[in-house]
Amino acid sequence: MSKRPADEPLEQTTASPFSKRARVEEVVDEDAPAPKPTKQTNGHSHGVAEAAAQEKDALEEAEGNQEEEEEEEDEDDRPAVSGPTRQKAPAEGYSDLYLDTINRGVLDFDFEKLCSVTLSNINVYACLICGTYYQGRGPKSQAYFHALDIGHHVFINMHTKQVYVLPDGYEVKHKSLEDIKFVVDPKYSKQDVTKLDKVRLHAWDLQGKKYTPGYVGMNNIKANDYFNVVCHALAHVPPLRNYFMLEDLHDRPQLVQRFGTLLRKIWNPRSFKAHVSPHELLQEISQRSSKKFSLTEQSDPADFLSWFLNNLHTGLGGSRSKPRSSIIQKIFQGQLRVESQSITARADAQDRLRFEDAAIQSAITPFMMLTLDLPAAPLFQDDRNENIIPQVSLTNILAKYDGIRAQERLNTRLRYRLLHPLPPYLLMHVKRFSPNKFLQTQRNPTIVTFSPRSLDMSPYVEPNPSLHSPSEPIIYDLVANITHEGVRVRDDSVEGEAEKKVWRVQLLDRGREENSNADSDRWVEMQDLWVGRVEAELLSTKEAYVMVWERRRSGVAPSKK
């Protein structure tokens, strides 16, 4: 069937809308001048212009609707709550807001500065209300969440000592916070340090307990009593103490920085508590020594002192080959002459040992600590069936360094002699422990008798008239004495009993009371947190292990007891 013909020709119908391509081109070129009308063979130019105008209006309306939809989508993507606005300063009249919530009684800045959540040591803040460490203070930091959840608002930066209020974020500058900043990291002037050995200061902690700065207890976290006695002994060597309290050590290794901080806290006259904790320094020592010295296992104080001084020497820029290149070696290092001779046995001497006249070899060796050997302890008991505690004088065991008495070591005979100049401070180690054939440590309980005043070292020094007159004595006075005590404790092993080592330190308090011109030197004995007095006559009744002697300046008389 044929299609029905159209009423009008297709050319004479109303013009249809332009194609999509034409519409886009028309929209892009809408700023161009309008084209001039052209002659149309069909006479419908007006219809074309009207259709183009309608198409333009439709496109503009579509673009407007698209923009409105995009704005609605952006509004949907925005968070329901906008980010907090951080204050740069407190509102007028509210500079002391939240400061009344600070609890100084719970603040303890002796422990390692690690975030309690992330265990990071970077950008750590301490809450001044509960004393807990947190990292950062931004809107997503642990300290910020702590302020929102718990309601604690005052925090101090452990590095810059700046105090902030969170979550507001502004810094607080108030005079009432100066005592907290001083306890975090005490700073002293030169005048303050020079008074430490002249005037005996007394202070009180927050609980009203009286204490003497420099003679405060030290926490024994588990088995770090060996560390406590060594630190107290070094803290009372004035040149070493003054150096670490006054010098700027921020560019030094952490071992040096933390030791300086501990010394400043030991001598702090404004402390919140009458004791200190060495936790922060012990963590650094444990890591640096590959856990050879830690807070969980007891070690030998002499071994630790030797390791500690050598690492402080290198940490302060000292050289391993150049002597006296740091404050450590300038204080403790000396020189001695070592003469050695070989020991041989001849077969024609009827199995008797004979010392041949061999050439003596001599060498000069630096030392940081003098080792003193004790005579062998007796094997028998007295008539009352009690153990005999032998005694020996300090001058007798010092004869090892007179250059005359010889000692045998394997197949070598050795002689020692000290050389001028002697160091300002002498460290002496009384060797009490030695391994026996059963691979166990054996203790020698021999008591070393001495006087804490006027030890003459000239008989043990090789004469050198260019440096020192042979007739002039070289006098040393005792300033610190580390003692050992063996305590029997019950053991579940086969032996039934074991011996526990207890370390104490005896320190010279050379200051005088305030408003008094008379010298009143006294001795203080310390064991961890316990601090007490001890008479000078009773010092040698304990098992001396490490002694620190100070060289007396010429023309200075000893103080009276």
pLDDT tens by residue, 435-479: 876 667 888 999 999 999 999 999 999 999 888 888 899 999 999
Q: Are residues 479 and 332 in the same domain?
A: yes
Q: Which of 182, 213, 243 is the last residue of a domain?
A: 182
Domain holding 153: CATH number?
3.30.40.10
Residue 324 lies in a domain: yes
Domain holding 499: CATH number?
3.90.70.10
Q: Give the tens place of pLDDT for each residue, 510-519.
A: 877 766 665 6
User: What is the total count of domains within the chain?
Assistant: 2
Tokens matching residue 369: 């600590």
- Give DSSP secondary structure letters for 379-421: SS--TTS-----EEEHHHHHGGGBSSS-EEETTEEEEEEE-SS
Q: Where are the alpha helices (DSSP H) in 215-357?
A: 225-235, 238-246, 254-266, 279-288, 301-315, 327-332
Q: Are residues 544 and 395 in the same domain?
A: yes
d(CA 324, CA 366): 10
> What is the pLDDT of the chain when averaged over all its residues?
82
Tokens matching residue 338: 């070592």
Residue 536 lies in a domain: yes
Tokens matching residue 418: 């000290």
Q: Which residues contact 521 (CB under 8 A, 6 or more apart)?
A: 508, 509, 510, 559, 561
3 state SS of 20 = helix
Neighbours of 373 (CB within 10 A): 12
pLDDT, position 169: 86
User: What is the helix (H) or strand (E) element at residue 370, kind and residue range?
Assistant: strand 370-373
Residue 195 lies in a domain: no
Residue 204 lies in a domain: no
Q: CA 207 from chain center: how many Å?
A: 27
Residue 436 lies in a domain: yes
Residue 138 lies in a domain: yes
In the chain, the largest separation of any two C-alpha atoms, in whole Å, equals 153
Neighbours of 412 (CB within 10 A): 13
Reported as half-sphere exposure (CB side, CA atoms, 13 A), residue 89 has a value of 5
pLDDT, position 387: 60
pLDDT, position 552: 92
Q: Which of 182, 200, 233 is the last residue of a domain?
A: 182
Number of residues written out for the chain: 561
3 state SS of 411 = coil
Q: What is the DSSP letter of 326?
A: S
Q: Which of 182, 198, 224 is the last residue of a domain?
A: 182
**Nearest to 103, CA basis, from 132, 124, 136, 145:** 132
pLDDT, position 532: 94
d(CA 480, CA 234): 9
d(CA 63, CA 61): 5
**Phi, psi dihedral angles at 339 (to 5 degrees):** -110, 130
Place of tokens 């101090």: 156
Residue 327 lies in a domain: yes
Residue 202 lies in a domain: no
Question: Could you tell me if 129 and 100 are in contact, meaning their C-beta atoms sit under 8 angstroms apart?
Answer: no
Tokens matching residue 317: 């820029």
Residues of the chain with pLDDT under 70: 1-95, 344-359, 379-387, 437-439, 490-497, 514-519, 554-561
Q: Are residues 178 and 321 in the same domain?
A: no
**Nearest to 426, CA basis, from 554, 328, 549:** 549
pLDDT, position 37: 46
Is it true that the peptide bond before 213 is cis, omega within 30 degrees of 0? Answer: no
**Nearest to 444, CA basis, from 545, 341, 327, 345:** 545
Residue 384: domain span: 313-551
